[in-house]
Structure 1
């Protein structure tokens, strides 16, 4: 289950996808806030929840339905199970959750890729997925 996508290529796609996902999330949150709310304290938690849900669905839907996000498409790689099949919703959830934790601990889950013999990041290994060039 070896991945042939470098850490640099992976980080390039992540940067691209973060810009796209947060642009989408900010647009959705802005529209909701303008339409329904005007109290700051009530909106902070709601905004965070909407951001997280929007980013979650951007990544997981892209992975499950098309094997790649827009960033992955630009950097010419895709995600698959170790047997070559599309990933499942459960795998996408595990991957998203663990990738989020990887970022929260200063990217250690991504640095793990540099030392893994199969070139897998921490969330690749535990979600039983891999990235391949296309």
Structure 2
């Protein structure tokens, strides 16, 4: 059965998968920070002080985007999504493209910045879509493990 036939994933399941992914992102962010500090120490000979907020924000967003883009393009699932049986699919049933990932991550990050309003939008949308689902022409479906 095509993934298009499975129901749209609920908000709670999505949020729990995001919590799993947050742990992966935290680890990636820490590794990137250690590498960046090591490079700065090796090149300047001094331990860097606090990074400017713009550098930290850019690094964090870049790591998030690369993680999600890589995961979505390699099978439509992040680690958190695999754990909870979620798949990212496109409305036109084609593979997830880079443009989908760019639009989805930008709209998703914006949704988080304004207190998750874009996520809770799915509770009032007739098709249960978040802002990033709408912007990227994608949706997250739930496929129970006992179905093939």
TM-score by length of 2: 0.82
Corresponding residue number in structure 1 for 2:136: 127
**SS of the residue 2:74 aligns to:** helix
- Which protein shows a greater Rg? 2
Cα distance in 1, alignment partners of residues 55 and 122 from structure 2? 35
Cα distance in 2, alignment partners of residues 40 and 118 from structure 1? 48
Cα distance in 2, alignment partners of residues 126 and 46 from structure 1? 27
Root-mean-square deviation over aligned CA pairs: 1.8
- Tell me, yes or no, if the aligned pair for 2:90 and 2:138 is still in contact at 8 Å: yes
Unmatched segments (≥5 aa) in structure 2: 42-46, 144-148
Aligned with 1:29 (options 17, 28, 33) = 33
Corresponding residue number in structure 2 for 1:104: 113
Corresponding residue number in structure 2 for 1:63: 72
Displacement of 1:3 in angstroms is 5.2
Cα distance in 1, alignment partners of residues 82 and 136 from structure 2? 21
Unmatched segments (≥5 aa) in structure 1: none
Cα distance in 2, alignment partners of residues 112 and 101 from structure 1? 13
Q: Which has the higher helix share?
A: 1
Aligned residues: 133
> Does residue 4 in structure 1 map to residue 13 in structure 2?
no
> Does residue 91 in structure 1 map to residue 95 in structure 2?
no
**SS of the residue 2:112 aligns to:** helix
Cα distance in 2, alignment partners of residues 32 and 39 from structure 1? 10
Within a 5 Å distance, the mapping from 1:65-84 to structure 2 comes to: 65-84=74-93
Alignment CA distance shift 1:127-1:3 (3 Å): farther
Displacement of 1:65 in angstroms is 1.9
